[in-house]
């Protein structure tokens, strides 16, 4: 049984929220303590890669529109590449902070895909509003891993990257297949 | 003066470290419960988001509603991730009390 789009978005939101909590906890305890257990070091990269596989599955069911097919493919590929880089970082195969440019690029491409594949204006529906909001949010927050590549010791960029996932979760949880933008207030929408 | 003997800087670090560590453990322990509380508050604020008995509802409608998912994430973090982190923070404290 294939879930509705909003259900798939809520599941994605749960994963994003878990990502956020894991990254925030890593910031709190520090990388040295967090990496003390191998499974914890691999948790975030593994989940990103598993999410990319899930996105590929969703891509298979997105054949109702070429635009959605392409957008989901781009998200799946971006997540896969970002997850692979995170995994290599966790394993110590790569060490340079410049590798943060890959997640930055993945976020930027994902944001652009969100913006391009939403054909309705901001206030058309809640779904359209959230697509625009998430798209621009991803474009802006791609600056966090970008700046981390430039200033790897600065805590603000890693904090912003962690909070990105919490914000993404909030926006995805707000999604409905059919609803006016702000619920019972009925602003916008058909 | 030999740097092996000069120990005043590590003592300063120890004072800062002991002041900071309890805050870290508490923050990690609170992350999960706060998430659970957020889910419960959402469920109370929007009770219609939780399907109890609706004609035509399927398994997704019953189990995959946002407030329930938020609570689930909080529970998973509280019981699977946070305890190990707090233990490791404590072990780090015992291993290196000067930090």
CATH architecture assignment, domain A5-185: Alpha Horseshoe (1.25)
- Helix ranges (H only) for A61-100 are 66-91
The first and second tokens of residue A127, run together, are: 């779904």
A113 CB-near residues (< 8 Å, 6+ apart): A70, A71, A74, A75, A135
CA angle, residues A56, A60, A61, in degrees to nearest 5: 120
Distance CA A13, CA A7 (A): 10
HEC secondary structure over B15-71: HHHHHHHHHHHHHHHHHHHHHHHHHHHHHHHCHHHCCCCCCCCCHHHHHCCHHHHHH
The first and second tokens of residue B57, run together, are: 């509802």
* pLDDT computed for residue A5 by the predictor: 83
Torsion angle defined by CA atoms of residues A40, A174, A61 and A110, in that order, rounded to the nearest 10 degrees: -60
How many CB atoms lie under 10 A from the CB of residue B37? 14
Interchain proximity B60–A7, CB inside 8 Å: yes
Write down the domain spans for chain B.
30-95
Instruction: For B57-97, write each residue's pLDDT tens digit.
Output: 788 888 899 999 999 999 999 999 999 999 999 888 777 66
Interchain proximity B69–A13, CB inside 8 Å: yes
What's the complex ipTM? 0.89
Number of residues in chain A: 190
Q: Which helix (H) or strand (E) holds A31?
A: helix A31-34
Model confidence, pTM: 0.87
Instruction: For B16-51, write each residue's pLDDT tens digit.
Output: 444 456 899 999 999 999 999 999 999 999 888 887
Is some CB atom of chain B closer than 8 A to the CB atom of A40? Answer: yes
Determine contact, residues A10/B64, Cβ cutoff 8 Å. Answer: yes
Nearest residue in chain B measured CA to CA from A8: B64
CA distance B44 to chain A (A): 16
Write down the domain spans for chain A.
5-185
CA distance B42 to chain A (A): 11
């Amino acid at each position: 049984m294939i879930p509705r789009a909003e259900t798939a978005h809520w599941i994605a939101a749960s994963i994003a929220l878990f990502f956020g909590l894991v990254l925030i906890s890593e910031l709190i305890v520090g990388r040295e303590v967090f990496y003390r257990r191998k499974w914890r070091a691999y948790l975030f990269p593994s989940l990103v890669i598993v999410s990319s596989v899930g996105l590929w599955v969703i891509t298979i069911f997105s054949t109702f529109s070429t635009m959605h097919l392409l957008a989901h493919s781009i998200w799946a590929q971006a997540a896969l590449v970002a997850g692979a880089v995170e995994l290599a970082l966790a394993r110590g195969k790569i060490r340079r902070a410049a590798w943060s440019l890959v997640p930055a690029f993945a976020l930027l491409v994902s944001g652009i895909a969100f913006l391009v594949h939403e054909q309705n204006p901001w206030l058309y529906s809640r779904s359209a509003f959230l697509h625009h909001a998430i798209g621009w949010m991803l474009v802006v927050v791609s600056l966090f891993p970008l700046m981390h590549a430039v200033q790897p010791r600065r805590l603000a960029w890693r904090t912003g990257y962690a909070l990105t996932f919490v914000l993404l979760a909030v926006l995805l949880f707000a999604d409905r297949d059919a609803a006016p933008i702000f619920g019972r207030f009925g602003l916008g929408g058909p | 003066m030999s740097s092996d003997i000069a120990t005043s800087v590590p003592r300063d670090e120890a004072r800062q470290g002991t002041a900071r560590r309890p805050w870290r453990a508490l923050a990690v322990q609170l992350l999960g419960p706060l998430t659970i509380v957020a889910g419960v508050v959402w469920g109370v604020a929007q009770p219609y988001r939780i399907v109890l008995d609706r004609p035509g509802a399927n398994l997704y409608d019953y189990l995959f509603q946002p407030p329930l998912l938020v609570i689930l994430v909080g529970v998973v973090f509280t019981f699977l991730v946070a305890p190990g982190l707090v233990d490791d923070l404590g072990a780090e404290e015992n291993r290196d009390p000067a930090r």
